[in-house]
Amino acid sequence: MFDRLVYTNSRGDSVELSTGSRFRVNILNDVTGMSDVNATYYRDKVVGGDGTIVTGYVLDERAIVINGKIIDTGRGDREDLMRELQAVFSPFYAGVLRHEGSKIREINVYPEAAPKFTKREKARWTEFSLTLLAPNPNWRASAEKEKTIATGGTTIYYDGSRACGLEIEITAGADAIDMDSFTNTNGSTVQTITFRAGGGVTLMTGDVLLLAISQTGVTITLNAVNALERIDFTDTVFPLLYPGNNVLAWDAHGDEADFTVKVRYTPLYLGK
């Protein structure tokens, strides 16, 4: 079984790039940028201090460069294949690049330009080259994961290499359940959402509280109505999942705290 890349643009048009495709690509030798990514560091200079102080960092966008060959079979379809490649990798459409190997990973990309073609003298193939830009450089798992959190807490082992957000869904099975807090503990890192005392979230039978947390923001709804004001922001650090063991736990009271908690997340990876 050989590795392959499958690119699908926003119109739904797809093309396979592999050693078994008419668009011949050896992923190991002909593709760069799939595993390496650079970072930008933010630094401050302190008067009288040696060197600099790193105040933060972000990952740069990822550039994936693909070189390949269109094999000439003698059927006169070489130009048709060139037009197909240009249409699928049109810069007018964003797309998703999918790597299928021992694992399946995906990343959102934009073609930097239309594919470039070179015909070597006497060669039975036409070479092509294209560059895909990924503004978000993180690869992700191809499918979302879901875990039910037990009343006393549940450990989730996160195999990603980059912290990821999570969606938490709490469904009440009885009346008058008061949600107090939600905590994720990863080693020495403890992150807790604290609901406002006296004005937090009281769930009745069938109520659904949904928290969608990402690296850049959070949305909270109660029965599809915004409930962000229920959070005590002075005592809250919104949790993410970090590589390794994450212990997720709720603190709630009232009517035996009868509720169901589900967590959904999509692992992120620095390389394929």
List, in sequence order, every beta strand (DSSP E) within 112-217. Answer: 116-119, 125-134, 139-141, 145-149, 154-158, 166-172, 177-186, 189-194, 201-203, 208-213
Domain boundary among 120, 137, 154: 137
Q: What is the pLDDT of residue 36?
A: 84
- Is there a single domain that holds both residue 119 and residue 161? no
- Is there a single domain that holds both residue 261 and residue 153? yes
Please count the CA atoms within 13 angstroms of the CA of 56 that sit on its side-chain side.
1
- Is there a single domain that holds both residue 133 and residue 183? no
Check: pTM over 0.75? Answer yes or no: yes
- Is there a single domain that holds both residue 18 and residue 133? yes
What residues make up the domain containing 221?
Answer: 144-269
Contact 240/163 with Cβ under 8 angstroms? Answer: yes
Indicate whether 52 belongs to any domain.
Answer: no
- Is there a single domain that holds both residue 242 and residue 124? no
Query: 236 vs 186, 195, 259, CA distance in Å?
Result: 16, 8, 22
What is the full per-residue pLDDT of the chain (272 aa) written as tens digits? 678 999 999 999 999 999 989 899 999 999 999 988 888 888 888 887 788 888 887 888 999 999 999 887 766 678 888 899 999 999 999 999 999 988 899 999 999 999 999 887 777 788 999 999 999 999 999 999 998 887 677 899 999 998 999 999 988 887 766 777 888 888 888 888 888 765 567 778 888 989 999 888 888 898 999 888 878 878 888 889 999 999 988 777 765 557 788 999 999 998 87
- Is there a single domain that holds both residue 128 and residue 183? no
- Is there a single domain that holds both residue 110 and residue 12? yes
Q: What is the pLDDT of residue 176?
A: 67
CATH number at residue 213: 2.60.120.860
- Is there a single domain that holds both residue 235 and residue 180? yes
Length of the chain, please?
Answer: 272
- Residues near 217 by beta carbon (within 8 Å), at least 6 away in sequence: none
- Residues near 199 by beta carbon (within 8 Å), at least 6 away in sequence: 230
Domain boundary among 71, 102, 137: 137
Indicate whether 238 belongs to any domain.
Answer: yes
- Residue 4: which of 25, 34, 22, 30 has the closest Cα? 25
Q: What is the pLDDT of residue 257?
A: 59
